Structure 1
């Protein structure tokens, strides 16, 4: 809880700083246009009201967090532009104008955020090729996480993405949490589950809960699980499945059930059967925060989401630095075991990905043949 309070305070402070910087810039622009050093109280109040009104419109249309992101980018670029033009003016002994830095700051913020919008709303394909010394049939898995249904696409958009993933001809599909969002409607949930029911990978579709999947909404976690099961999806919560000889899928209860709600999840060493080290064990764990435990239990591969790939630059590695996750994005190895963290195919409240991109992941595993 303490970390979330700290994050909230930080967001409030940077929002106030961004609003101050932009109000200051607008007032300086207005003063330059009027050719005055000081503005009347009416002009000051009007300029500040205009800035706050724009912020309010963005907050109402895109959510407050996105208004904060937009204003912070503009404020930072405007500050840097003013700083650079001020230094140039000092060196050239010529007072710089106010308009050009403002225009350049706006163009820079618009360009970065436009790219961030594109990267959040367009789903790329990422592939990893792994090998194992265990004698198993070659596996081809499609892994996706952080669908947050209804945020950047609805059930129809999700079905279109599933059709693209189906062309990968996966042996199985892994959905690693945060399938729905707080704002997901029951209708979207049901239609998306039906879309999954039309995908028939030979070894099945497997799902584990994420922290948002249990948030309050028009339907509960039990109804979500029931809707998925009715459409052929195997829901795992501290449970094991064996989709093929020599292959295990272990679905873990999400860490939020322990960290935020005082619940319990089974230690992986107890969850995996005694002969799991002789088989290829894949662990589905929404949050990438138990790498040492996973490696010690002898699992071969762990797949996670949750981090959104770091989401925003320059805060990509904040979770790692704070010690709440063991990795932010990509493929890594711990204790000789493979770990893959995806940036997810969608977003939560934030509509921009300036530090990463949305993706689904194809994982190919080649077993020993001799």
Structure 2
């Protein structure tokens, strides 16, 4: 019982992960880029108004240039999100370059079209196998979640297909919810990939299982010139308890040549 109580307190106490990443490319007129990112928020029944407000306030306090969400913004069914009007909080997110997200498996479990429509109507731009070129500086690529094929029978684009039209001399940031086959992003020329999904098991000792499944179950890794970060996520799936890891918000400063 004590372990569960401490795990519940832990789940409600996110940490801020601060990291400076050097990108070996020019960023146009921009020398640095401040990214604040999160994954696996799981808005819904458990992650309600109070924790959503805390997320928004914390992100805004970090004064980001851009805000990124790497999938599972919604916890399956979007109805509890609508009923609690959680989008009202999302509208208060502030970043000069905007708020962007990719889909996660939970968006597809609950019905991706309705979830995406709701999020976009509340200020979050969802990139679904899409790319935007921002501030004459960098590309942001949002990849559809791996589960798209299972739910729609339509395959998502490969990383190589997404990046093939891009100028590889420009910095490229990829949002890909599930961190499988990191070598494909490296080979395609991604500079920074942000993922989530794993929760690093969420409950000890399940982190040992996710470490067997994924090359990176949590945290940072560099492969060649490509930087990867797999977040443990902000929210929880199932019980609001975390044992063995902390929820987190990412505050990355990219330094361009």
Q: Is this a same-fold pair by TM over 0.5?
A: yes
Q: Secondary structure at the match of 2:86?
A: helix
User: Rg: which structure is higher?
Assistant: 1
Structure-to-structure mapping, 1:95-174, within 5 angstroms? 110-136=1-27, 137=30, 138-174=32-68
Provide the C-alpha distance between the structure 1 equivalents of 2:46 and 2:80, rounded to a whole number of angstroms.
17
Matched, 1:357 2:249: no
What are the superposed Cα offsets for residues 172-220 of structure 1, whole Å, 9 maximum, x if unpaired?
A: 011111111135535547733232222230011001111111223xxx4
Distance 1:192 1:243 in 2: 27
Provide TM-score, normalisation by structure 2.
Answer: 0.91
Instruction: Decide whether the 8 Å contact of 1:149 with 1:188 is kept in 2.
Output: no
Larger relative contact order (Cα-Cα within 8 Å, sequence gap ≥ 6): 2
Q: As a proportion of its length, which structure holds more strand?
A: 2
Partner deviation per Cα, 1:277-326 (whole Å, 9 max, x = no partner): 201100000101131110000000000010112312222131231x3x33
Structure 1, residues 200-255: CA drift from partner, whole Å, max 9, x if none? 30011001111111223xxx422222222223321101000112212011000101
Structure 2 unaligned spans of 5+: none
Pairing 1:328–2:217 present: yes
Q: Give every structure 1 segment of 4 or more consecutive aligned residues whose post-TM-superposition deviation is greater than 4 Å.
A: 259-262
Q: Does 1:231 align with 2:122?
A: yes
Q: Which residue of 2 aligns with 1:338?
A: 227
Q: Which residue does 1:211 correspond to in 2?
A: 105
CA distance in 2, matches of 1:356, 1:237: 30
Q: CA deviation at 1:115?
A: 2.2
Q: Report the TM-score, using the length of structure 1 for normalisation.
A: 0.64
- 8 Å Cα contact 1:132/1:367 also seen in 2: yes
- Give the CA deviation at 1:343: 0.8
CA 1:189–1:241 in structure 2 vs 1: closer, same or farther (change >3 Å)? Answer: farther
Provide the C-alpha distance between the structure 2 equivalents of 1:197 and 1:314, rounded to a whole number of angstroms. Answer: 37
Q: Give 2:154's aligned residue.
A: 263
Residue 327 of structure 1: CA displacement? Answer: 1.3
Return closer, same or farther for 1:332/1:151 CA change in 2, 3 Å cut-off.
Answer: farther
Secondary structure in 2 matching 1:165:
helix
For 2:83 and 2:108, locate their aligned partners in 1 and report how far apart those are by CA, in whole Å: 13
* 1:87 corresponds to: none
The number of residue pairs the alignment matches comes to 254
In 2: Cα distance, 1:267 partner to 1:184 partner = 28
The two structures, once aligned, show a CA RMSD in angstroms of: 2.0
**What are structure 1's unaligned runs of at least 5 residues?**
1-109
Q: Distance in 2 between matches of 1:187 and 1:302?
A: 28
Helix, strand or coil: the match of 2:233? coil
| Counterpart mapping for 1:267-306 below 5 A | 267-306=158-197
Distance 1:343 1:187 in 2: 22
